[in-house]
Chains A and B, each alone.
Chain A
Amino acid sequence: MHLYHMGKVWLHRYSVLVACCTLILVIAGGLVTSNDAALSVPDWPLAWGRLIPPLEGGIVYEFGHRVAAASVAILTFILACWLQAAEPRAWVRRLGWTAVVVVLAQALLGGVVVLWVAPKPLSIAHACLGQIDFGLMALVAQASRPAQPSGTGQSRRRAPLIAAGALFVQTILGAAVRHNATGLLPHVLGAGIAIILVMWAGLPILMTEPEDSSQRRPAVALLSLTFSQVVLGMGAYLSRIMTADAPQPMPVMVWLTVAHVAVGSLALGAAVQMGAAA
């Protein structure tokens, strides 16, 4: 029994590790876009005709993103196998394999983006599928916790999942802004709606379940991350305006934008975990 529990503990820790690596992959992707390096490696699956391209300039970001993607794919596959062997619940095992399919689809989509010279719809789809992948990893991490929360039932689950949906719509709109497919207004309006839905999901938990850390922590994370996103979003936008005349992407704009992408992922993950914990 002890060994079984230790096995579950390590499986959970490993799923958290994979989730963290997936977040790093999302950040790596954000760095590629923000540094305008997306097509610095014009071929796929090789890079400049080789396994390892000349590592200079934008190629460092693009190739680094590909290496991170390959690593996450391998880690996700190991996770799926481990879940298959050790997880008694079928839906969690299926989740693991779904994550494998998603990460492989992401890799293929990334390749198509390169080969078709980054058409906007595919670039946006690539950004969004990456967030879905992270959301899945967050869900697996939550589901693999050795001590599962008691849960308050279906009714409490609805609000965080709707908030997660709104945050994902924000991802789509944000990606559309990043790839110049739309203006800023829809993303700003979406932020207002997402904040309301996040508050609707998180505040009741804090008021009614203050002692239940398994409920409280994701609620606090979701609320604080979402409000941080507002600040980071304003920073990213202002930095873009202020450096509009710069001949190349400036570090302040790059890092604020990438932070905005990363915290968006974390907020989405927190909403997913809240829904799973409810």
Chain B
Amino acid sequence: MKKIWIGVGLAASLSMFGCGGDKPPETAKPEASAPAAGAGGAAAMPDEANGGTVTGKVTFAGAKPKMAVMDMSANPACDRAHKGAPAHSEEVVVNDNGTLKYAFVWVKSGLPDKNWAVPTTPVTLDQNGCMYKPHMIGIVAGQNIEVKNSDPTNHNIHPQPTVNQEWNESQAPGAESKMKTFARQEVMIPVKCNVHPWMRSYIGVVSHPFFAVTGDDGTFTIKGLPPGTYTIELWHEKYGKQEQQVTVGAKESKTLDFAVKGA
């Protein structure tokens, strides 16, 4: 009996050596996978010529919060990248026009039951200046994310999904881009780097292409919506979620603004 348990223990030990750790961390070849065309049937595309458009902005009310400075002194390469202009947390970025940057706006419900085409163009997530650029991205489930390391220092990329497969990989300076994807809708997936604990970004994975991330002007535009009534959700990492309903017809444009109240 003892021999059986010793054998099981050895087998378990050997299998652990064989799992995951044998691949060199500088994954040289991009793990490109053909974007999924959606499960079964012809993939639907947004009809921007005839569809409805929802546009709007995310305003911010209240005092502009002061974002903490990131202490990069432990890593000289990161520190050098921000010489003279220390990097601030991007948890809340209020634009000069009083709008909120990095808010994720998406169609939560109301779409017809279709298989939406997955774009073949990857979305880039770059590690630059020891910060993720951009701070927030949105992809269609199955769409590729091109993870780049533009820094002269090492990073590890560690997304923390709850319904998708979690992974954690290293990326040395000069290493080739990694092509990764997430198969299931999940709003939002936080991403961090365990080498540089201040690094944080978010990936919104949606099963359709009707989403947007607000930028420097705080606006969003969602085009090509089939006529109907929709629930539009706003997601922000600090201020949480808001929902609104909107009804659009063919070739109709509707404005939908969100107001976020600071502390």
B20 touches A115 (CB 8 A): yes
Q: Is B5 an interface residue (CB 8 A)?
A: no
A248 touches B70 (CB 8 A): yes
A45 touches B68 (CB 8 A): no
Give the contacting residue for B154; candidates A59, A108, A112; CB below 8 A.
Answer: A59
**Given A36-B192, A117-B167, A58:B21 Cβ within 8 A:** no
Stretch at the interface among A17-25, A48-56, A74-82, A161-169: A48-56
Q: Is A37 an interface residue (CB 8 A)?
A: yes
Q: Interface majority SS on B: helix, strand, loop or mixed?
A: loop
Contact with A along B163-189 (1 / 0, CB 8 A): 000111110100000000000000000
B195 touches A49 (CB 8 A): no
How distant is B243 from chain A, measured CB to nearest CB, in Å? Answer: 26
A49 touches B75 (CB 8 A): no
Contact with B along A91-135 (1 / 0, CB 8 A): 000000000000000001001101111000000000000000000
Q: Which residues of A contact B158 (CB under 8 A)?
A: 39, 42, 117
Counted as pairs of residues, one from A and one from B, with CB atoms less than 8 Å apart, the total is: 92
Cα of A247 to Cα of B158 in the assembled complex, Å: 16
B16 touches A56 (CB 8 A): no
A56 touches B17 (CB 8 A): no
Q: Is A38 an interface residue (CB 8 A)?
A: yes
Q: Which residues of B contact A54 (CB under 8 A)?
A: 154, 172
**Given A54-B154, A59-B154, A42:B197 Cβ within 8 A:** no
Cα of A42 to Cα of B178 in the assembled complex, Å: 15
Cα of A175 to Cα of B20 in the assembled complex, Å: 26
A117 touches B168 (CB 8 A): yes
Give the contacting residue for B21; candidates A36, A38, A43; CB below 8 A.
Answer: A43
Cα of A46 to Cα of B170 in the assembled complex, Å: 13
B21 touches A40 (CB 8 A): no
Q: Which residues of A contact B74 (CB under 8 A)?
A: 56-57
Q: Interface majority SS on A: helix, strand, loop or mixed?
A: loop
Q: Which residues of A contact B194 (CB under 8 A)?
A: 36-40, 58, 62
Q: Is B19 an interface residue (CB 8 A)?
A: yes
| Residue from A37, A46, A56 with most neighbouring chain B CB atoms (10 Å) | A56
Q: Which residues of B contact A40 (CB under 8 A)?
A: 156, 193-195
Closest to B19 in A: A115
Q: Which residues of B contact A41 (CB under 8 A)?
A: 156, 170
Q: Is A226 an interface residue (CB 8 A)?
A: no
Closest to A115 in B: B20
Closest to A245 in B: B68
How distant is A250 from chain B, measured CB to nearest CB, in Å? Answer: 9
A247 touches B91 (CB 8 A): yes
Closest to B69 in A: A247
| Residue from A42, A56, A245 with most neighbouring chain B CB atoms (10 Å) | A42
Q: Which residues of B contact A46 (CB under 8 A)?
A: 21
Cα of A44 to Cα of B196 in the assembled complex, Å: 20
Cα of A213 to Cα of B97 in the assembled complex, Å: 72
Give the contacting residue for A248; candidates B13, B172, B197; CB below 8 A.
Answer: B197
Q: Is B31 an interface residue (CB 8 A)?
A: no
Q: Is B217 an interface residue (CB 8 A)?
A: no
**Given A42-B169, A49-B25, A111:B16 Cβ within 8 A:** yes
Contact with B along A232-253 (1 / 0, CB 8 A): 0000000000000111110000
Q: Could you list 14 examples of A-B contacts with CB < 8 Å?
A: A40-B156, A40-B194, A42-B25, A42-B156, A48-B25, A48-B154, A56-B75, A56-B77, A57-B74, A57-B75, A58-B195, A114-B21, A247-B89, A248-B70
**10 nearest A-B pairs in the assembled complex, by CB-CB distance:** A40-B194, A57-B195, A248-B198, A247-B89, A115-B20, A49-B24, A43-B21, A36-B197, A248-B197, A247-B198
**Residues on A facing B (Cβ under 8 Å):** 35-46, 48-49, 54, 56-59, 62, 108, 111-112, 114-117, 245-249
**Residues on B facing A (Cβ under 8 Å):** 13, 16-17, 19-21, 23-26, 68, 70-71, 74-75, 77, 89, 91, 153-154, 156, 158, 166-170, 172, 192-198, 200
